[in-house]
Amino acid sequence: MTGGPGTLLEVFRAAFRLGLTSFGGPIAHIGYFRREYVTRRGWLDETAFADLVTLAQILPGPASSQLGIAIGTRRAGMAGGIAAWLGFTLPSAVALTALGLVAASSDLSGAGWVHGLKVAAVAVVAQAVWMMAGTLAPDWPRRVVALAAAAVALAWATPFSQVAIIAAGAVVGRWLLAPTPMPATHHEPSPVPRRVGLAAIAAFGILLLTLPLLRTVGGQPVAMFDAFNRSGALVFGGGHVVLPLLHSTVVDPGWVSDGQFLAGYGAAQAVPGPLFTFAAYLGAVSGPSPNGIPGAGLATIAIFLPSFLLVFGALPFWDWLRGSVGVRRALTGTNAAVVGILLAALVTPVWTGAITGPADVVLAGGALVLLLSGRVPPVVVVGSCALVGQALAAVSP
């Protein structure tokens, strides 16, 4: 680490700046982080930054948020990790909570702009599938794993199917695929003591195992906390990959309607910051109490809590973990399976819930072309889809 130790306020201000300006999803966020933390502020060198990027990607959960937590922790200790997460997350969480309050108090299901946001979600997820496939499934062995994962996800749509698919991908990767390359070793003393890391890992496992058992006695607050905690703990790849698990978590039990879900997911593309703050919208719009602002806060804390526990738990042991060929092989298979799960989500619920006619196909295709070109910011593409959707609704009989 370069630049010396930092203060919590310094970490928060840097992360808050990123939370206001980082559009484009997890891959784009990494570019923003590099420019801010490596080039502009000099808090890390290139090797240390690449090392933490690898750590964030090898863990389940939101990769860019976990990268920010790791950088903040390296800069100012564990409190620095919390400050970095808060600064990066606050802008989008507030914006999506406000949208959730509006959606909960108004019937937006027939609004043209809401339908335009659903169509925008088709383009956004399709772009994510295309880009992730190029990075995580660039050869035929991994493409076969991805296609098999997509087929299983479409045929076996249950809350636990993703976990089984990802586990199967890890097994296939461990024994049949080549390991992913790793950056050069960069030893850095861990700011988290080993005993604290072990406690964090234990807490992660205890929550994952006990919360489902407590749902029957804890009521809806515990059920909601468990649902979002599980979503944050079991999703590899972060960002768009959380979509199918969240859909089964909140739509299937009737907490959120399918239309509200897809409209909010489309709107989440138009705000900067981590896509996992979509949980704030879902918590606010949820039918059962807690909802509104308390529901948004509960859902946001629950979905990000596993990220803290995993980052704090992994940092003391990262030098050993990064050198394990077996771990890297398993990660190769897991990443390919993630591409397949996202491909299945593109088919349903995203496509089936948004595309109702030829005009929607044209609009989604045009939005996808603009996103893939990289010349138009995602916020402009999503906003344009909303406007076109409203215009089409106005001229429709």
Q: Transcribe 48-109 into DSSP letters.
A: HHHHHHHHHHHSSS-HHHHHHHHHHHHHHHHHHHHHHHHHHHHHHHHHHHHHHHHHHHS--T
pLDDT on residue 270: 74
Helices (H), strands (E): how many in the chain? 17, 0
CB–CB of 198/288 below 8 Å?
Answer: no
Rounded to an integer, the average pLDDT of 20-37 is 75
CB–CB of 120/386 below 8 Å?
Answer: yes
The residue type found at 117 is L
Question: Mean pLDDT: which of 82-91, 125-134, 233-242, 315-324 is highest?
Answer: 82-91
pLDDT on residue 238: 62
Q: Distance between alpha carbon 1 and the CA centroid of its chain, in Å?
A: 27
Using CA atoms, how far residue 267 sits from 117, 243, 308, 383, in Å, is 6, 13, 26, 9
d(CA 124, CA 127): 5
The count of other CB atoms within 10 Å of the CB of residue 9 is 11
pLDDT on residue 194: 93
Cα-Cα-Cα-Cα dihedral of 50, 51, 57, 62, to 10°? -80
DSSP 232: H
d(CA 363, CA 374): 17
State what percent of residues in the chain have pLDDT above 70.
90
pLDDT on residue 156: 84
Cα-Cα-Cα-Cα dihedral of 261, 265, 268, 274, to 10°? 100
d(CA 390, CA 394): 6
pLDDT 10s digits, 337-361: 878 877 887 887 778 878 888 999 9
pTM: 0.76
pLDDT on residue 291: 92
pLDDT 10s digits, 155-197: 987 656 777 888 898 899 999 888 766 655 556 677 899 999 9
**Structural tokens at position 371:** 């996103």
The residue type found at 238 is G
CA-based torsion, 337, 343, 344, 346: positive or negative: positive
**Structural tokens at position 279:** 């949980």
CB–CB of 269/384 below 8 Å?
Answer: no
The residue type found at 228 is F
The residue type found at 155 is A
How many CA atoms, within 13 angstroms, populate the side-chain half-sphere of residue 287?
11
**Confidence grade of residue 124 (pLDDT, cut at 50, 70, 90):** confident
Cα-Cα-Cα-Cα dihedral of 190, 192, 194, 195, to 10°? 170
pLDDT on residue 22: 78
For the chain, the average pLDDT equals 85
Name which residue leads in pLDDT, 238 or 111.
111
Q: Is the pLDDT of residue 380 over 50?
A: yes
pLDDT on residue 107: 64
**Structural tokens at position 328:** 């890297």
pLDDT on residue 1: 46
Q: Is the pLDDT of residue 298 over 90?
A: yes
